[in-house]
Structure 1
């Protein structure tokens, strides 16, 4: 049994060698001789196929074929109708006088390379060369994870991808500034990162077949900055609201101070509400002691910032105050009219012959009117 098994193995190896010598050597020799005029070698064709698809390899046979086979770079796939390949993806499609076609399903990168159809006829050998090119869609195989960094840190993002043809890399950032970050490298370097470069970073690997995309979130921590507080005027006994806004990552916590004393929620009827980037301090019944300087402090793990707000008193006008203002205004107007009238009368008297003749009609009339008007205004000013 051992001898027969050994003989069978040796016979198979010998047959493979013979087929290779029969089909490949005549087609591969480029020596000019009388035998070359009887050969018929077809120029190599390139067949491009995408990974996962099916490829068909076909060659013509012709008259009086004695031997025929499909071979790849390392083994025989089919010798006539006999399958030599153990790969289940390889199968015979057509075998007749005109055509010898096989197919390879679910093509992978390992299937790429040279394939030969060798036909031996009674008159001459003939070979057909086919080179399979397998295209592979891009796939990102290594990508940076989400990051949280402090402002001013040097950051490097990584995006490694493979595919055939080799994919091109493109980075984009989705943030307030937006747009492309101008890099087509697998590694994106961001020196001394600022808060404005935080956001979602997208890496796209693309070739002629398809594209693969991955995103990561980059968070940049920075200390608080407080927007300038606005001074508030409030009438005694009314409600006063002080507001403070801070920009910070991570979000800031707030503290309120009256002079050097910290104010807590519920202290002396004061209410403090924090919501996101805002803090609001409410005094429901402002008293004399509530007026003064308040300080809002925003704090996170990277630092703090503060702003001052002055709560000052606003006096509302009363009815007596309004009457006093109106009376004063009226007196000022009357006094001004009196002065103007006196001036005009004085000018009249100074005219030549103004009061020399008491019987003159026009001058006398004007003089009487001036005296009457002055007396009237004086009486009004007494009230």
Structure 2
């Protein structure tokens, strides 16, 4: 005598709708540099049907927001963006500087944003985007400067350049 046992198939309570589609990121976060103690926002917008949930990650780890801890200085906005009430940078608390990503999820899948770096501005630290082009011309010579470029003149002591 042979006995066959078939396991029951389980289905999700969510039913597939013809108009449903997986999430996709429509606004990726951008790199930002923010002074310590100042507010900041990392933008992220996603679309999908049903509306995807957004979760943020910093350096590959989930970010704790006000949804998990009411005392958190990070808020997940309805748009999906991550708002910092104040940027933290110190030894006593976990600093906010790092590489961030947002992940949008619904039952049809997930979408991952590009990485965005949040850097804390430290007085006296040079940042690559602060680069200026230094053109030195002999006294009396002419040079052309684009109109959209900020300019200034300064005298350098002899032999310093």
TM-score under structure 1 length normalisation: 0.25
- Paired residue for 2:52, among 252, 258, 277? 252
3-state SS, counterpart of residue 55 of structure 2: strand
Q: By how many angstroms is 1:304 displaced?
A: 0.2
Q: By how many angstroms is 1:296 displaced?
A: 0.6
Alignment RMSD: 2.5
Partner of 1:280: 81
Higher strand share: 1
Partner of 2:30: 230
Partner of 1:311: 118
Deviations 1:327-379, CA, capped at 9 Å, x for gaps: xx43x1x427xxxxxxxxxxxxxxxxxxxxxxxxxxxxxxxxxxxxxxxxxxx
Q: Which runs of 4+ in 1 moved over 4 A?
A: none
Partner of 1:271: 75
Q: By how many angstroms is 1:260 displaced?
A: 2.9
TM-score under structure 2 length normalisation: 0.56
Tell me how far apart the structure 1 counterparts of residues 25 and 41 of structure 2 sit (CA, whole Å): 17
3-state SS, counterpart of residue 297 of structure 1: strand
The count of corresponding residues between Structure 1 and Structure 2 is 105
Q: Structure 2 regions of 5+ residues with no counterpart?
A: 1-16, 90-94, 125-153
1:293 and 2:99 correspond: yes
Indicate conservation of the 8 Å contact 1:254/1:299, yes or no. yes
Deviations 1:108-159, CA, capped at 9 Å, x for gaps: xxxxxxxxxxxxxxxxxxxxxxxxxxxxxxxxxxxxxxxx41xxxxxxxxxx
Q: Which has the higher contact order (CA 8 A, sep 6+)?
A: 2
Higher helix share: 1
Q: By how many angstroms is 1:265 displaced?
A: 2.6
Q: By how many angstroms is 1:316 displaced?
A: 5.3
Q: Which has the larger radius of gyration?
A: 1
Indicate conservation of the 8 Å contact 2:74/2:84, yes or no. yes
Q: Structure 1 regions of 5+ residues with no counterpart?
A: 1-147, 150-219, 318-328, 337-383
